[in-house]
């Protein structure tokens, strides 16, 4: 029993320290799990395309084989279009003529379009009035483009030099052209192909030439792309690039290597044998290798039978068209004898497509999110194909060795996303890659160019760690600045609104949106200063961003999101220490006040008579274990003793213990046999117990009273 009490006393003694340690350890917050929030679902379905070729029929293309090759390039484009696509062709010189306008439903439609290309395109026109095809298109738009449910695309091929027939002036033709594009055709993407290396740079007006017309006034103004090719040798490859972009078709890993997964229906390749300037190979040099290693050539392709795979091989003067229908799963290759690298442009007809969404322009201080997803047109929805998607991006003109690679993270709605982490203004390109080697799944997009420009705004983000004192917390300050003197500042109808959006993240990674807060505005000189202060905010982890919203004078709605910021609101470690010390002091005080106190009396019977009041004795020593009184030498009672010394201590439940320090004493408990206690022995005293000992020849007898 005595040992049990001693252990309990030790625990009570260190109880305040145990509580303090537990208190401080509880201050450490758990790390939150990373959350990938689902972005808005982008438009994911590609529609049949209405292609309109607008072709310069003047002498921009040299005589001979270059002109034949140019027509063959357009024919090859027609061959690889899908069923239900539409091909229209307008040729122009001093005026414009529609030479083809047909929906592709079968091979006969392709043949009729190619026949018109061969017979009607002559490249003999004397003038280049670029305004005429656009005026013609405005008048006949409904018969050329089918409207809702179909995607219109204009492919414009010319050197861009405007030369109308007299009496029409160049300025008049140019104004008609620009007016047609900006008022009637601005919502149709122009893919312009600039030919040559001389006329395209000749100014037809003091401030403009063919290059700037095709690139700036047509392609960039309508959201299309501009391609400059110095010779027609590159016309086929450029046309195919446009076809892949507008159909959303992925490129292959290597031009002559094809990863075929279960969703692939067709391999279409155009293997170029000859250009106007070079003989590359012959049909006899070309061979196909299937996933089983079997070699297929033009001689034996008709006898190839493997599962449901069918091969069509079409020879022509400049290229061979090879179409492999329903290729089985695995790696297919097309090569040339002698280990030469084939000149190939190719397309894979698949049912799972890699799509992406990237803005044309970003501000350098805004959130630059890019999206990618896999679309399965068999289910008209997102594919559940498991794969890794990454984005390769870099500033145009930078070394290829400094290519940035960002892994995209999958959100809850199966859209993949990542952020372009750079604030350096300039022109960039980005390319997306999706891969699952076990499934022979590989998709890579065409490089896409975008621009990062200098921002007219800046933000003051909170610190990563914010200490919230119980008393004296001043709140969290947020600040945004719009510089109206910045060259890129757009003209708003009225001062735009800046709003803060915050979300609290719990320890499991779940997010909870807080009500948005509009910042107060204040114009100071040429700047608009927005401020807000949060004084009432709970402890925890937060993420947030600023949103700028306003309407331009043009009526355009502008919405800009800042880069995400995060912070944690916590109790300061010093406050925890102070609170811990206060708690420690309180617990210590409670422990001290509730310690065992001595009580009762002792009666000295001999050698003299005297009462000793234990409760109020002035010599009592105080301790967390309990108060005690020392008898004998160096004690506060019976100091005349020389050889005997003992201590009486208070314990819990109003008990008293006697412990012999030196000498021997006899303890005679009431109704029990006397006990001899030596140095170090302890015993619990009870009412009427008698303490006997001798010292200096005197016999002492002390009785324990209540």
pLDDT of residue 5: 38
Is the pLDDT at 496 greater than 60? The verdict is yes
Can you tell me the mean pLDDT for 674-679? 91
Q: Count H helices, E strands: the chain?
A: 11, 50
Parallel, antiparallel or unpaired: strands 151-158 and 49-56:
parallel
* Predicted local confidence at residue 70, as pLDDT: 87
Judge whether 226 and 192 are in contact, CB under 8 Å. Answer: yes
Q: What is the residue whose two structure tokens read 């395209």?
A: 200
pLDDT at 531: 94
- At 24 the pLDDT is 46
Torsion of CA 554, 555, 556, 560, to 10 degrees: 100
Distance of CA 9 to the CA centre of its chain: 58
Which tokens sit at 163?
Answer: 């030369």
- The pLDDT assigned to 633 comes to 82
If you average pLDDT over residues 87-109, what whole number do you get? 94
Across 30-41, b (16+ Cβ under 10 Å) vs e yields eebeeeeeebee
3-state secondary structure of 97: strand
3-class SS letters over 525-569: CCEEEEEEEECCCCCEEEEEEEEEEEEECCCCEEEEEECCEEEEE
pLDDT of residue 676: 92
Joined tokens for residue 126: 């004397």
Strand, helix or coil at 326?
coil
Euclidean distance between CA atoms 195 and 158, whole angstroms = 6
CATH number of 49-247: 3.40.50.410
CA–CA dist 336, 339 (Å, integer): 6
Residue (of 80, 85, 190) closest to 145 by Cα position? 85
Provide mean pLDDT across the span 513-538.
Answer: 91
Query: Is residue 540 a contact partner of residue 503, using CB atoms and an 8 Å limit?
Result: no
Q: How far is CA 70 from CA 156, 230, 247, in A?
A: 13, 13, 22
Lowest mean per-residue pLDDT among 8-12, 36-40, 467-471, 505-509: 8-12
Q: Compute the distance between CA of residue 216 and CA of residue 198 in angstroms, rounded to an integer.
A: 18
Q: Where would I find the H helices in 147-212?
A: 170-184, 210-212
Classified as helix, coil or strand, 337 is: coil
**How confident is the model over 421-460, as pLDDT tens digits?**
999 999 999 999 999 999 999 998 888 899 999 999 999 9
User: Is there a common fold for 49-247 and 264-350?
Assistant: no
To the nearest 10°, the Cα dihedral for 389, 395, 397, 402?
-60
Distance set, CA 190 to CA 113, 155, 223 (Å): 21, 6, 7
pLDDT of 36: 54
Question: Which CATH code of 2.60.40.1930, 3.40.50.300, 3.30.360.10, 2.40.50.140 fits the domain covering 352-451?
Answer: 2.60.40.1930
How high is the pLDDT of residue 45?
61
E strand or H helix that includes residue 243: helix 235-247
Mean pLDDT of 471-490: 89
Q: What percentage of residues in the chain have a pLDDT greater than 90?
A: 53
Query: For 145-183, what is each residue's pLDDT tens digit?
Result: 998 889 999 999 998 889 999 999 999 999 999 999 998
Residue 423 tokens read as 């604030």
| Contact in structure between 360 and 450 (CB atoms under 8 Å) | yes
Residues 336-345, mean pLDDT to the nearest whole number: 86
CA angle 535, 541, 543 (to 5 degrees): 85
pLDDT for the residue numbered 528: 94
Mean pLDDT of 592-621: 90
Instruction: Assign 188 a pLDDT band (cuts: 50, 70, 90).
Output: very high
Rg for the chain (alpha carbons), in Å? 46
* 580: number of Cβ within 10 Å: 17
Question: So what's the pLDDT on residue 3?
Answer: 44
Question: Which CATH number describes the domain made up of 457-568?
Answer: 2.60.40
> What distance in Å separates the CA atoms of residue 9 and residue 656, rounded to the nearest whole number?
14
- The Cβ of residue 488 has, within 10 Å, a number of other Cβ atoms equal to 13
The DSSP bridge pattern shows strands 352-357 and 441-444 to be unpaired
Q: Which CATH architecture has domain 264-350?
A: Sandwich (2.60)
Question: HEC profile for 353-407?
Answer: EEEEECCCEEECCECCEEEEEEEECCCCEECCCCCEEEEEEEECCCCHHHCEEEE
Q: What residues contact residue 261 under an 8 Å CB cut-off, 6+ apart?
A: 329, 350, 352, 436, 439, 440, 441, 442
Question: Lowest-confidence range among 34-43, 330-339, 645-654, 669-678?
Answer: 34-43
Mean pLDDT of the region 336-347: 86
Q: Mean pLDDT check: name the lowest of 322-336, 401-415, 514-528, 535-549.
A: 401-415
Q: Kindly report the number of other CB atoms within 10 A of residue 76's CB atom.
A: 23
What integer is the mean pLDDT of 373-400?
88
CB 629 within 8 A of CB 621: yes
Strand bridging mode 457-460 / 511-513: unpaired
pTM over 0.85: no
Residue with tokens 């260190």: 14
Q: What are the pLDDT digits (tens) for 297-335?
A: 999 999 888 878 999 998 888 889 999 999 999 999 999
For range 401-417, the mean pLDDT: 87
**Per-residue pLDDT for 96 more than 90?**
yes
- pLDDT above 70 covers a percentage of the chain that reads 92
Q: 47 pLDDT band (50/70/90 cuts)?
A: confident
**pLDDT over threshold 80, residue 670:** no
Backbone angles phi, psi at 464, to 5 degrees: -65, -40
The C-alpha atoms of residue 106 and residue 359 are separated, in whole angstroms, by 37
pLDDT at res. 247 = 81
pLDDT band for position 1 (50/70/90)?
very low
**Contact by Cβ (8 Å): 185, 178:** no
User: Strand (E) positions, 123-242?
Assistant: 151-158, 190-195, 203-205, 208-209, 225-229
With respect to CATH, is domain 601-705 assigned 2.60.200? yes
3-state secondary structure of 184: helix
Provide mean pLDDT across the span 262-279.
88
Higher pLDDT pick, 132 / 672: 132
User: pLDDT tens digits, residue range 536-576?
Assistant: 888 899 999 999 999 998 888 989 999 999 999 888 877 77
Task: Tell me the two tokens of residue 274.
Answer: 């000859």
Residue 16 structure tokens: 């305040």
* pLDDT bracket for residue 253 (50, 70, 90): low
Residue scoring higher pLDDT (601 or 249): 601
**CA separation for the pair 385, 399 (Å, rounded):** 34
CA distance linking residue 680 with residue 660, whole number of Å:
5
pLDDT tens-digit map of 29-42: 444 444 455 566 56
Better-predicted residue by pLDDT, 632 or 653 = 632
Q: What is the mean pLDDT of the chain?
A: 87
Domain boundaries along the sequence of the chain: 49-247, 264-350, 352-451, 457-568, 601-705
CA 449 to chain centre: 19
Query: Which are the contacts of 320, defined by CB distance < 8 A and separation ≥ 6?
Result: 270, 271, 273, 283, 286, 298, 313, 314
CA distances from 225 to 78, 188, 283, 388 (A): 20, 12, 34, 28
């Amino acid at each position: 029993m005595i040992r049990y009490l001693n252990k309990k006393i030790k625990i009570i003694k260190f109880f305040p320290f145990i509580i303090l340690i537990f208190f401080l350890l509880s201050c450490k917050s758990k790390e939150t799990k990373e959350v990938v929030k689902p972005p808005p679902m982008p438009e994911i379905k590609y529609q049949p395309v209405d292609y309109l070729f607008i072709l310069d029929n003047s002498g921009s293309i040299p005589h001979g084989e270059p002109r034949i090759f140019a027509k063959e390039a357009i024919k090859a484009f027609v061959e690889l279009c899908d069923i239900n696509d539409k091909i229209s062709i307008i040729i122009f010189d001093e005026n414009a003529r529609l030479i083809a306008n047909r929906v592709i439903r079968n091979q006969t439609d392709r043949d009729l379009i190619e026949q018109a290309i061969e017979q009607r395109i002559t490249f003999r026109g004397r003038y280049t009035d670029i305004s005429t095809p656009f005026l013609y298109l405005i008048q006949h738009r409904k018969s050329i483009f089918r409207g809702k449910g179909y995607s219109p695309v204009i492919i414009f091929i010319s050197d861009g030099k405007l030369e109308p027939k007299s009496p029409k002036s160049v300025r008049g033709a140019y104004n008609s052209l620009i007016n047609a594009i900006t008022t009637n055709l601005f919502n149709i993407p122009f893919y312009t192909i600039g030919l040559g290396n001389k006329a395209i740079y000749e100014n037809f007006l003091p401030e403009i030439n063919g290059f700037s017309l095709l690139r700036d006034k047509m392609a960039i103004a309508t959201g299309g792309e501009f391609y400059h090719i110095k010779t027609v040798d590159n016309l086929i490859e450029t046309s195919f690039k446009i076809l892949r972009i507008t159909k959303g078709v992925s490129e292959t890993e290597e031009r002559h290597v094809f990863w075929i997964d279960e969703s692939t229906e067709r391999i279409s390749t155009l293997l170029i044998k000859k250009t106007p300037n070079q003989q590359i190979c012959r049909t006899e040099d070309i061979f196909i290798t299937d996933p089983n290693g079997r070699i297929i050539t033009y001689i034996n392709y008709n006898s190839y039978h493997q599962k449901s795979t069918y091969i069509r091989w079409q020879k022509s003067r400049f290229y061979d068209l090879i179409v492999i229908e329903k290729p089985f799963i695995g790696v297919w290759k097309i090569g040339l004898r002698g280990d030469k690298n084939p000149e190939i442009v190719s397309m894979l007809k698949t049912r799972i497509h890699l799509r992406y969404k990237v803005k044309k322009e970003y501000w350098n201080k805004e959130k630059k999110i890019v999206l990618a997803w896999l679309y399965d047109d068999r289910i008209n929805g997102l594919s559940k194909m498991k794969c890794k998607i990454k984005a390769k991006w870099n500033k145009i003109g930078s070394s290829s060795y400094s290519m940035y690679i960002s892994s995209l993270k999958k959100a809850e709605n199966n859209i993949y996303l990542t952020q372009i982490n750079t604030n350096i203004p300039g022109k960039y390109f980005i390319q997306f890659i999706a891969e699952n080697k076990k499934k022979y799944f590989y998709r890579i997009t065409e490089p896409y160019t975008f621009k990062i420009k200098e921002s007219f705004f800046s933000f003051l983000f909170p610190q990563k760690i914010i200490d919230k004192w119980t008393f004296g917390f001043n709140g969290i300050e947020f600040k945004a600045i719009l510089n109206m003197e910045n060259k890129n500042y757009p003209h708003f109808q009225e001062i735009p609104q800046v709003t803060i959006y915050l979300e609290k993240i719990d320890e499991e990674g779940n997010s909870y949106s807080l009500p948005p807060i509009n910042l107060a505005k204040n114009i100071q000189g040429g700047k608009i200063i927005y401020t807000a202060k949060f004084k009432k905010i709970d402890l925890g982890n937060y993420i947030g961003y600023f949103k700028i919203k306003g309407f331009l004078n043009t009526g355009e709605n502008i919405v800009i999101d800042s880069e995400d910021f995060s912070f944690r609101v916590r109790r300061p470690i010093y406050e925890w220490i102070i609170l811990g010390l206060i708690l420690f002091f309180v617990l210590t005080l409670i422990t001290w006040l509730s310690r065992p106190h001595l009580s009762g009396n002792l009666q000295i019977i001999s050698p003299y008579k005297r009462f000793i009041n234990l409760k109020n004795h002035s010599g009592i020593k105080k301790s967390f274990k309990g108060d005690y009184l020392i008898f004998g030498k160096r004690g506060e009672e019976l100091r005349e003793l020389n050889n005997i010394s003992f201590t009486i201590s208070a314990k819990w439940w109003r008990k008293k213990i006697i412990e012999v320090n030196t000498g021997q004493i006899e303890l005679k408990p009431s109704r029990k046999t006397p006990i001899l206690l030596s140095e170090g022995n302890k015993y619990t005293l009870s009412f009427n117990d008698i303490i006997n000992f001798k010292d200096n020849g005197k016999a002492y007898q002390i009785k324990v009273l209540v």
